[in-house]
Amino acid sequence: QQQVRQSPQSLTVWEGGTTVLTCSYEDSTFNYFPWYQQFPGEGPALLISILSVSDKKEDGRFTTFFNKREKKLSLHIIDSQPGDSATYFCAAPYTGNYKYVFGAGTRLKVIA
């Protein structure tokens, strides 16, 4: 099975700071990369996604970057808020986009 590796495993940042999460993958045929956000007691929900034809996508305080040559992704959260405290998963589809492999997740805590 293709691997998607995330780092760090957990992270604590101060309110107002910038959070950076990273993800690396193996299969160069992956072409769509979502990030999911999961709060305790809930299922993951799509936060932001990027296609491999782009190198950057922004949505408010959240930006994802894609580096095709290095097979890496990152998620940047500016002005981090306590409400951003959650687990973040990167994922990649394989076998014709019909199923996904998820990273192990990064547990983020933002403290006021």
Give the binding site for another protein (CB under 8 A). Answer: 32, 34, 36, 41-46, 49, 89, 93, 97-105
What is the three-class DSSP state of 32? strand
- Least distance from another protein to the Cβ atom of residue 104, Å: 4
Of 67 and 97, CB closest to another protein? 97
CA distances to 23, 49, 107 from 36, in Å: 12, 9, 12
Distance, in Å, from the CA atom of 60 to the CA atom of 62, rounded to the nearest integer, reads 5
Nearer to another protein, 65 or 100 (CB): 100
| Closer residue to another protein, CB minimum distance, 18 or 95 | 95
Closest CA to 102 of 28, 45, 36: 36
Q: How far is the CB of 75 from another protein (least distance, A)?
A: 17
Smallest distance from another protein to CB 2, Å: 12
- For 29, the token pair is 């045929």
